[in-house]
Chain A
Amino acid sequence: DSGVTQTPKHLITATGQRVTLRCSPRSGDLSVYWYQQSLDQGLQFLIQYYNGEERAKGNILERFSAQQFPDLHSELNLSSLELGDSALYFCASSVRDNGNTIYFGEGSWLTVV
Chain B
Amino acid sequence: QQQVKQSPQSLIVQKGGISIINCAYENTAFDYFPWYQQFPGKGPALLIAIRPDVSEKKEGRFTISFNKSAKQFSLHIMDSQPGDSATYFCAARSRSGGSNYKLTFGKGTLLTVNP
Contact = CB atoms under 8 A, between A and B. Distances in A.
Interface of A: 2, 4, 33, 35, 41-45, 48, 50, 55-56, 58, 90, 92, 97-107
Q: How large is the interface on B (under 10, 10 to 19, 20 to 34, 35 or more residues)?
A: 20 to 34
A48 B49 CA distance: 21
A52 to B, nearest CB: 14
Nearest to A50: B100
A103 to B, nearest CB: 8
Contacts, number: 64
Interface of B is mostly: strand
B43 A105 contact: yes
Nearest to A48: B102
A106 B107 contact: no
5 contacts: A90-B43, A97-B100, A101-B49, A104-B36, A104-B43
